[in-house]
Structure 1
Amino acid sequence: LNSKLNLKLIKEAGYDYIVASRLKNMSKGILDRVFDEEGYQVLEEKKWRFDREIFGEEFRFKVIERENIIKTGEGEIFKIPENLIITYSSKRAKKDKEERQRLVEKAKELLERPGNVRAAEKRGGRKYLRRISESEEYVLDEEAIKRDEKFDGFYAIQTSKKEMSVTEVLNAYHDLWKIEQSF
């Protein structure tokens, strides 16, 4: 849903959006702001439906204003003003770490059976393998593991509805997430 062209079509139809956004695909400038501790805030529990079972003990957020620049196939450029709400959750950090460790274990298993590794496929445990020669020789990619570790606990939600408060956006997104989980 949240391809840039789809977001453009949503805005052209007169609607706004609240969608998840992949942090790992963000520009260096945005990522520098994400990982800068300055500007993070803690939401007051009474202002939103805070659930420690879902978010863990530590939950904080930062709002980054930006323009989403969309280039069409015809070379047209559109700019959509957005808020990027970056959240950090201790529970999500724990889950991300566990998932990465599971994939590292899969990568190690693949190294024991090199015939199962294909360089073109960077999914699952393969994303943590690096080819070291023209032959089918691989090693564990420690840099990729460290790079992914930086993102533990972070999540991004982008919205074109800039007048909505952070709590309104988080509650709306959380409600959407609950609906999606029921299917």
Structure 2
Amino acid sequence: MTYELFPGNTADIKTLEPAMLRLKEQFDLDQMIVVTDAGMLSQENLSLLQSLGCDFVVAARLRSLNQVHTKAIVGEQSWTMLSTGRKVSEHTLGGRRLILRYCPKKAARDVHTRDQAVEKVKKRLAQGVKGVGRSGRFLKVDPQGVRLDEAAIARDQNYDGLHGVWTSLKDMTPEQVYTHYGELWRIEEGFRVMKHTMAVRPMFHWVERRVRAHVAICFVAFALLRILCHRYNTLFGAKQRLSEGQILAELSQVQASLIRDRGTDAEYLLPSKARDEAIRLYHAVGQKLPRQTVLFKPGSTA
């Protein structure tokens, strides 16, 4: 695992090139498959990945396709049904491979989201308010005034349940390509753990070297937490799997009282009763959680 830091005002789409060049320098990799969401999508970035010899699976912005490509994906087409209940189809647009996936649950969610947006537009129009945020894509402004854009609603319905990815992987089936794309959730989960569970933000530093040091410490802690999570779930996952947040909660309950003998000035650690999960967490990294009072020696891990 590795990471790269950029100034806060750097657009996501501008971070791919320096990050990829650094990866190429840092690691000797025979093959790289870059998986990203649509935030990294640009023709320049796709060309960059190809020039570096990297394969890619990148989420497509279906609503941003030109009219010719749009007709190819929203019309009648041949679908392949998957065991998951979803179906996929494949297209070659502009010399690139585009794989579409249709999911009934996503279709229902898209319909619900659009219905809410349309109701919001109607309500705001009735109140005489023109600004309706993202729902404004369903507005039509012309010399006659501002009104609901029925044509835009109809166009939006064409994308219900659809998701697409651009890929350079030619020897993989659409299902295999989407399996790679599905792994993106691990990165997104990592961001959530770093930002929320480990509270990497807010950070109260203004000097760059201290910001970098803060993030480096948090990243090392995150890497250790991920390793511990993997080891625990490998050894004991059949009985009970733990998430990173649950692991931190369990370890926070491991406590001990420091007791001093007034006669000898010796100090002892009196551990509190540990839960079974905490005992197994220590075992996962080859450590034994003390259960009895032990002599405290400064610098000792006991």
TM-score for the superposition, normalised by structure 1: 0.74
For residue 141 of structure 2, what is the aligned residue in structure 1?
Answer: 131
Tell me if 1:39 matches 2:78: yes
Contact 1:105/1:125, CA 8 A, preserved across alignment: no
Structure 2 equivalent of residue 154 of structure 1: 162
Q: How does 1:1-183 map to 2 (within 5 A)?
A: 1-43=40-82, 45=83, 50=84, 58-67=85-94, 81-114=95-128, 116-118=129-131, 123-133=133-143, 137-182=145-190, 183=192
SS in 1 for 2:58: strand
Unaligned runs of 5+ in 2: 1-39, 193-302
Other structure's SS at 1:92 match: helix
Partner residue, 2:24: none
Letter in 1 for 2:178: L
Take 1:36 and 1:117, find their aligned partners in 2: how far apart are those partners? 33
Work out the CA distance in 2 between the residues paired with 1:147 and 1:36.
12
Deviation digits for residues 95-144 of structure 1 (CA, Å, limit 9, x no counterpart): 11011111101111220232x425xxx8422111112337xx31111111
Highest RCO, 1 vs 2 (Cα 8 Å, sep ≥ 6): 1
Secondary structure at the aligned position of 2:140 is classed as strand
RMSD: 2.0
Kindly provide the CA deviation profile for residues 64-104 of structure 1, in whole angstroms up to 9, marking residues without a partner as x. Answer: 1233xxxxxxxxxxxxx432101111111101101111110
Letter in 1 for 2:143: S
> What is the rounded CA distance, in whole Å, between the counterparts of 2:92 and 2:137 in structure 1?
31
Query: What is the rounded CA distance, in whole Å, between the counterparts of 1:144 and 1:66 in structure 2?
Result: 24
- Structure 1: which 5+ runs fail to align? 51-57, 68-80
SS at match of 2:159: coil
The answer on whether the counterparts of 1:18 and 1:173 sit within 8 Å (CA) in structure 2 is yes
Q: Percent identity?
A: 29
State the structure with more CA Rg. Answer: 2
Q: Which has the higher strand share?
A: 1
CA distance in 2, matches of 1:126, 1:9: 34
SS at 1:38's partner residue?
A: coil
Kindly report structure 1 stretches of 4+ aligned residues shifted beyond 6 Å: none
Normalising by structure 2, report the TM-score: 0.46
